[in-house]
Amino acid sequence: MATGLQQKNFQKVLIANRGEIAVRVIRTLKEMNIKSVAIYSQADRNSLHVRMADEAVCIGPARSAQSYLNIDAVITAAKITGADAIHPGYGFLSENEEFAAAVEQAGLTFIGPSAQTISMLGVKSTAREIAVKAGVAVTPGSDGVVGKNYHALARKIGFPLMIKAALGGGGKGMRACLQEEDLDRMMTTAKAEARANFGDDRMYFEKLILNPRHIEVQVAADNYGNVVAFAERDCSLQRRHQKLVEESPSPFVDAKTRTQLQEAACKVVKAAKYCGVGTVEFLMAPTKEFYFMEVNTRLQVEHPVTEEVCGQDLVKLQIQIAQGEKLPLSQKEAAVINCHAIEHRINAEDSEHNFAPCPGTVTEWIPAGGLGVRVDSHVYSGYAIPTYYDSLIAKLIVTAPDRARLLARSRRTLGEFVVGGVKTTIPFHQKIVANPDFISGNTDTGLIERMIKQEKEHESEK
């Protein structure tokens, strides 16, 4: 948003994404009376977002590199259809500074922070520096990219430590190193992975916090320096750094810590001169001390959890900010906790066989319903899941006045959700909501792996 003080009203918005998030964005556009343009690859001709949008343009073949990641094609589609703005969704080009810059250059508005902000916060070591300057605690680490003297640096930080790629994400180019003897080997493999995935093998170190929680704070900031932070999301339930279940508020966070989290998130956002909707991620130790990890400069998969808790439409908020409007809510309104919410990510994966992707045709589709249930999905009966993209087929978001009733409702809804024709992660979610540690709120980022390990041990005992 280079032209901050100009107010404009979008007439037509192109969604540079697919799947459930494209459907999600179209829904808000309809409510705001803004026309929507869907883009799709040849593999997504029958996707729901194509049907729901006012217009749809085929921009390339199935492979993402030639379609959803093809900046030239996406912007051309926006120009041809006369869109004023582009919503990037999550994944694909959502955190690509080159794309954000190209959108603005084409005379369109990028619904998200500026290219400069994306680039600054995208380099994790720079993001850490910003947090440190803002007075927000970060995990002790190398304070920047490590050079050849990494052994001395690692000793200074102390083991165990994490080796992370400067441009990393999604757990790629990341290694836990428990002792110095493993350091060289771990560096080599992490660097190779980072090179392969991000084309960049600059690495940095961070102290490894044992049994941490992943706590993140949703924020929104406008062009006029106003920033608000919402109640935290607890995303500790992850498998291989991929989130499976997210809930808000966190059963571990008390009111005092919540305020501290929100203040810390606002400080980082202000220091980065951030404009838009984003997420500040923290790692929380069992002592409730928390450390800044990174800022996600996009709408996140788990944003509905926050929407349910605070009663706000975050996509609408993104659009209002991009239109140059002032934040329509105060910190007090943003931080309101109306209910307890949880999201179960339903993937077309076989959770009994190492979560292998299970594309295929959905022969039967009976989503859960009833009080306190929201299903965000692009799936319908007869929909063929393409093999080219991620395996998320639905997000089941459940709400209740308190956590005990929430878990009862989660169990009920997971039980009534029927997906025929493909394997899904629903059975695994049922195990999660039956897990004593999860029920008591005693979770950390290692819980899922421990559950899987226990299950395997049980099987081998039989």
Q: How far is Cα 384 from Cα 459, in angstroms, rounded to an integer?
A: 33
Among 31, 72, 263, 437, binds other proteins (CB under 8 A): 72
Q: Which of 202, 233, 239, 298 is catalytic?
A: 298
Q: Tell me the window of 77-85, 289-297, 340-348, 354-362 that interacts with other proteins (CB under 8 A).
A: 77-85
- Least distance from C-beta 44 to other proteins, angstroms? 12
Residue nearer to other proteins on the CB measure, 81 or 142? 81
Structure tokens at 252: 């571990």
Minimum separation from the CB atom of position 451 to other proteins (A): 43
Query: Which range binds other proteins by CB under 8 A, 70-78, 166-174, 407-415, 441-449?
Result: 70-78
342 binds other proteins (CB under 8 A): no
The two tokens of residue 168 are 């990393």
Q: Does 73 bind other proteins (CB under 8 A)?
A: yes
For 47-51, the CB contacts below 8 A with 24+ separation are 47/18, 47/19, 47/22, 47/378, 47/383, 48/23, 48/378, 48/379, 48/380, 48/383, 49/15, 49/17, 49/18, 49/19, 49/22, 49/23, 49/378
Which one of residues 17, 48, 60, 191 is an interface residue with other proteins (CB under 8 A)?
60
Q: What is the dihedral of CA 51, 399, 297, 69, to 10 degrees?
A: -30
Which of the residues 214 through 253 are near other proteins (CB under 8 A)? none
Distances (CA, A) of 10 to 65, 110, 221: 28, 11, 19
Verify whether residue 298 is a known catalytic residue: yes
CA distance linking residue 369 with residue 373, whole number of Å: 6
* Piece of the chain touching other proteins by CB under 8 A; list 71-79, 205-213, 338-346, 432-440: 71-79
> CB neighbours of 178 closer than 8 A, spacing ≥ 6?
159, 160
Residue 383 · residue 359 · CB < 8 Å: no
Among residues 58 and 439, whose Cβ is nearest to other proteins? 58
Mask 83-122, x = binds other proteins (CB under 8 A)?
-----------------------x----------------
* Minimum distance from residue 86 beta carbon to other proteins (Å): 12
Near other proteins by CB under 8 A, which window of 58-66, 114-122, 253-261, 420-428?
58-66
* Dihedral sign of CA atoms 15, 18, 21, 27 in order: positive
Among 12, 30, 42, 333, interactor with other proteins by CB under 8 A: 42
Cα dihedral 295, 299, 301, 303, rounded to 10, equals 100
Residue with Cβ nearer other proteins (103 or 339): 103
Residue positions counted in the chain: 462
Q: Is 75 near other proteins (CB under 8 A)?
A: yes
The H or E element spanning position 394 is strand 392-400
**Nearest residue (CB) to other proteins, 50 versus 264:** 50
> Which of residues 67 and 391 has its CB atom nearest to other proteins in the complex?
67
Distances, alpha carbon 54 to alpha carbons 34, 81, 313, 415, in Å: 10, 11, 21, 35
Q: Using CB under 8 A, pick the residue from 8, 51, 79, 241 that binds other proteins.
A: 79
Binding residue for other proteins, selected from 15, 22, 48, 57, defined by CB under 8 A? 57
Residue type, 287: T
Measured from the CB atom, the residue of 108 and 269 that comes closer to other proteins is 108
Please choose, out of 65-73, 374-382, 407-415, 444-452, the segment that lies near other proteins by the rule CB under 8 A.
65-73
Question: Counting contacts by CB under 8 A, is residue 284 touching other proteins?
Answer: no
Q: What is the rounded CA–CA span in Å between residue 451 and residue 158?
A: 29
State the alpha helices, DSSP H only, in 272-323: 303-310, 314-322
Q: Is 59 in the site for other proteins (CB under 8 A)?
A: yes
3-class DSSP state of 122: helix
Residue 271 lies near other proteins (rule: CB under 8 A): no
Instruction: Work out how close the CB of 200 gets to other proteins at its nearest, in angstroms, rounded to a whole number.
Output: 24
Q: Confirm or reject binding of residue 63 to other proteins (CB under 8 A).
A: no
Q: Using DSSP, state whether 368 is helix, strand or coil.
A: coil
CA 401/CA 192 separation, integer angstroms: 48
Nearer Cβ to other proteins (57/161): 57
For other proteins, which is the closer residue by CB, 80 or 366? 80
Of these, 80, 137, 366, 418, which contacts other proteins (CB under 8 A)? 80
**What does the block give as tokens for 170?**
């999604």
Which listed residue (61, 144, 160, 446) binds other proteins by CB under 8 A? 61
The catalytic site residues sit at 298
| Binding interface with other proteins (CB under 8 A) | 42, 57-61, 67, 72-73, 75-77, 79-81, 106
